[in-house]
Structure 1
Amino acid sequence: MPSSPNSSTTDQRKKLGELVVVVLRARHLTNVKLSKQDPYCSLTINTEKRRTAAIKKGGQHPEWDEQLKFDIYEDMQDQLLRTSTSSKSSGDPDSLGKSSGAKKEGKKVFEKGAKTMRVACYADAPREPELIGEAVFDLAKALNTGEDDDWVTINRKDRYAGEIFIEFTYFIAVRSITSARLFIPLSSSSPSFRVFGSFR
């Protein structure tokens, strides 16, 4: 069966890896409700959006400890970089493990600001959630080193609205001999790998 002409754009995107995000807790959130608020977090990378559960009466210091996962794909800038580096090396240009090679050479795989995540915190409500605060977090360190954690300061209308503690773990995707998709942790402290399905 012939493929749809509109599917080519999606199929051409290469999966670079998987980003596991753990939203742990928040502190000093602005209380936007008269009673104790029910906060939840919403995370967005490109068009992918994930959210935590709302913590009933979590108030200003909720604890979520919830894991969210994002697939990381190359964008146009990544495609140009991959084409440039593959023309200078004898490696397989179809490999999804280019980032590990560049890392070993001491080069940055993701420039600062190239990949970001929108972090937003809301007070849940029956009709419409109310924004507590939001921020844009740079993912460069997490994607280049394999892990990161930080207190992310959120603001609303340029005013401090609290902080959210988030942990990041990035697994790069490579193509194995058996054509299975492997996610390899960049951190040397975690030498094992996990298998996630197979290529089509």
Structure 2
Amino acid sequence: MTEIGTLVIVVLKAKDLPDKHFYKQDVFAQVTLNGTSKRTKLDVKGGQHPLWDEEIRFPVYKDTTAKHRTLEVECFSKETRSDESVGKGSVDISDTLKTGEFDDWVPLSLNNVQRGEIFLEMTYFASGPAPIQRRPSKMNPSERMWRPPQTSPAKTPPKGTSP
């Protein structure tokens, strides 16, 4: 297959992820294109609003069919036995390959239930490796690496005791 360019994806952050734990969950994101999966580092105690700001690169091939122009992204909670999916979303990259850019929130769902969103910045560089420098983000700098404060779930006193 002939490589026609590089798709650079910055997995910035997620918001409003469900957290079934009484503590903040450890979260990572996995991005899949053309059957190849790459993942971010773990955001320890990232909870419902993990931050990664991590760059992932995929080669783009000339013979890539339309069905392989879908980028899948999934967030996972790191668990002791096996990682648990928090939510999954997808983006058709056809327009990104034409315009060269995509910066937006991608909705995540699981079993047809909304499960938060993940912010992706994608840049397509035709012919050859992408430059070392990332392009400036379209997200407001004051919001880029900010997450809302997380509140702990209310603790209920054990039975037979008063609060």
State the TM-score, normalizing by the size of structure 1.
Answer: 0.61
Counterpart among 31, 41, 49 of residue 37 in structure 2: 49
Query: Which residue of structure 1 aligns with residue 62 of structure 2?
Result: 74
Conservation of the 8 A alpha-carbon contact between 1:32 and 1:123: no
Distance 2:39 2:129 in 1: 26
More RCO (CA 8 Å, sep 6+): 2
Structure 1 residues 183 and 39, CA gap change in structure 2 (3 angstroms) = closer
In structure 1, the gaps of 5 or more residues are: 1-12, 78-110, 174-180, 190-200
- Note the aligned Cα RMSD (angstroms): 2.0
Structure 1 residues 182 and 28, CA gap change in structure 2 (3 angstroms) = closer
Query: Which residue of structure 1 aligns with residue 144 of structure 2?
Result: none
Moved over 3 A (4+): 181-184
Distance 1:64 1:75 in 2: 32
Quote how far apart the aligned CAs of 1:46 are: 1.1
Query: Which residue of structure 2 aligns with residue 28 of structure 1?
Result: 16
Q: Deviations over 1:138-161 (max 9, x none)?
A: 112211111111100000100010
Distance 1:135 1:66 in 2: 18
Query: Which residue of structure 2 aligns with residue 156 of structure 1?
Result: 110
Equivalent pairs counted in the alignment come to 132
Distance 1:132 1:51 in 2: 14
Quote how far apart the aligned CAs of 1:33 are: 3.1
In structure 2, the gaps of 5 or more residues are: 137-163
